[in-house]
Amino acid sequence: MRTREEFIEGLKKMKPNVWMGGEKVRRDDPRFQSSINVLGVTFDLANDPRYEKLFTATSHLTGKKINRFNHIVLTPEDLLKKQMMIRVGCHRVAGCIQRCMGMDAVNALYRITYEIDQKHGTHYHKNFVEWLKYFQENDLVGSAAQTDPKGDRSKRPHEQADPDVYLRVVEKRKDGIIVRGAKIHNTTAPQADEIIVIPTRVLVEGEEDYAVAFAVPGDWDGVKIINHQASVRPRKQWDAPIAHIGVSDGFVVFDDVFVPWERVFMCGEREFGGPLALQFAFNHRHSYTGCKPAVSDIIMGSAALFAEYNGTERVSHIREKISDLIGVAELVYSAGVASAVFSIKTPSGFCAPNPIYVNVGRRHAGRNIYHEYDILADIAGGIPATLPYEEDFLNSETKPFLEKYLKRKADIPVEDQHRCIRMLSDMLCSGWAGVWQVAGVHGGGSPMMETVAILGNYPIQARKEIAKYLAGIKSKDEFENEVEVKEVNEFLESIKVFSEKSK
């Protein structure tokens, strides 16, 4: 496993193919430091003996200790640990820990490449496993590139005026393929050692060229990363961990990029486009059952701390609002736990989180994110919006007045109160906050996408059968034998992990 420093060294060695603010920039540009700080935590904690049981795993490919972010989920336990690792990691970085997308794409590819090979006699899985060993051994950071620009949303990929608005294969050669297109919203793209490309949606006949998956190094020829950086405002005097956090989102262009066959993991097997896109999405929604509770934790912790400083901690409506934040956090977390308990072992060995639970969990998070900020704003009052600048707290003409009038509870140092308010200001009234509000709605799939996934996976017919039985439309015998006994047996099978233990 690498250290944070080795990770940074790696970035410095990469060829410059990142643009920002009109310039081509190096990966150690100071503006990227905030993103590097976040990813650095994933190295620190894996190397810290106090955290390693959660942040590392044993590779089933090599038997070696690896960073859990690069591990294939094989058991319900792996799912539970992944979820908790993310929650803990996110606490440290005031939000997204940023290394999950790669993990979730890797896990989806592990499953789907196996299933393509089973059906088509291809060798994608073998190639992928080789790549994965390299990825694990070198403790690399992967960035999943899924979202195509999509052009006119009322048209399918093959109906677009410009066929490139979904990334596609434009040429197949003996040694590899040429791909053209772009992938947007690629978190960590400028920090990623590897960019892992997968389709964004179900594909229909005639869209074979869009059924493509592969991995290339982040600085590969023809890959162009146009980056958006969102960082918390830096501090001049009252430095704090939150002031060192940020995120890079790359608009990644594939300008006729060559990918050698050993790095191609799907090419034309159209019917697997949807399953791969969805398995990634479901894995990533499972990740959200870890990170979104962490976001709620931070919001509730900040709100509760400020209420304490204000002397309003026991006020009834504030307590109820705090408890609502707990409700969101723990229902979403519960859904992740249930997705582990009712997980599904796939033929490849990959243990898939239950699709119903990851979707109801992620949707609940996405539907509530603005509501959670609403609660935070409600409890925080207007001061995060109008707090004077740090410099005015330093200027001797204004400092005494600001300290005198900012102070709330007498027994709390005004500096702590100031720090708390300044953090609230970052959390509520900064561009960085807005970016995470939007990401809270859309990251991992918008609530509407989860609704579609829920409806697509739920046994709604079995629910109708209950209604038919109760209404007298279906007989008791039929209901029991066709529906209910089956459901009971499936349940008992699912929870065997507990039964075996209890013996």
| Contacting residues for 144 by C-beta, under 8 A, at least 6 apart | 101, 102, 104, 105, 186, 196, 198, 280, 284
**Does the protein bind its own copies through residue 371 (CB under 8 A)?**
yes
Of positions 15, 118, 345, 488, contacts its own copies by CB under 8 A: 488
Three-class secondary structure assignment of 458-501: CCHHHHHHHHHHHHCCCCHHHHHHHHHHHHHHHHHHHCHHHHHH
Of 116 and 360, nearer to its own copies (C-beta) is 360
Of 117 and 465, nearer to its own copies (C-beta) is 465
Of positions 33, 37, 47, 75, contacts its own copies by CB under 8 A: 75
Query: What x-and-dash track marks residues 177-216 binding its own copies by CB under 8 A?
Result: ----xx-xx-------------------------------
H helices then E strands: how many in the chain?
A: 19, 14
Q: Please, what's the largest Cα pairwise distance for the chain?
A: 85
Distance CA 42, CA 142 (A): 13
Q: Which helix (H) or strand (E) holds 186?
A: strand 176-187
- Segment 303-322, which members bind its own copies (CB under 8 A)? 304-305, 308, 310-312, 314, 316-317, 319-320, 322
Of 165 and 202, nearer to its own copies (C-beta) is 165
**Does the protein bind its own copies through residue 414 (CB under 8 A)?**
no
- Segment 31-50, which members bind its own copies (CB under 8 A)? 50
Nearest distance, CB of residue 124 and its own copies, angstroms: 27
Phi–psi pair at 153, nearest 5 degrees? -70, -10
Nearest distance, CB of residue 175 and its own copies, angstroms: 26
Handedness of CA 464, 465, 470, 473 (dihedral sign): positive
Tokens linked to 183 = 């992938």
**Does the protein bind its own copies through residue 465 (CB under 8 A)?**
yes
Of positions 9, 28, 130, 152, contacts its own copies by CB under 8 A: 152
**Does the protein bind its own copies through residue 61 (CB under 8 A)?**
no
Q: What is the DSSP string of 94-159?
A: TS--S-HHHHHHHHHHHHHHHHHHHHH---HHHHHHHHHHHHHHTT--EEEE-B---SSTTS-GGG
- The one segment of 15-23, 97-105, 134-142, 204-212 that binds its own copies by CB under 8 A: 15-23
Task: Indicate the residue type of 254.
Answer: F
Of positions 381, 449, 478, 482, contacts its own copies by CB under 8 A: 381
Phi–psi pair at 387, nearest 5 degrees? -55, 125
Distance CA 128, CA 263 (A): 7
Of positions 130, 234, 409, 482, contacts its own copies by CB under 8 A: 409
**Does the protein bind its own copies through residue 391 (CB under 8 A)?**
yes
**Does the protein bind its own copies through residue 284 (CB under 8 A)?**
no
- The one segment of 73-81, 101-109, 137-145, 170-178 that binds its own copies by CB under 8 A: 73-81
Of 112 and 328, nearer to its own copies (C-beta) is 328
**Does the protein bind its own copies through residue 373 (CB under 8 A)?**
yes
Distance CA 430, CA 94 (A): 14
Number of residues that bind its own copies (CB under 8 A): 172
How far the first Cα of the chain sits from its last, in Å, is 38
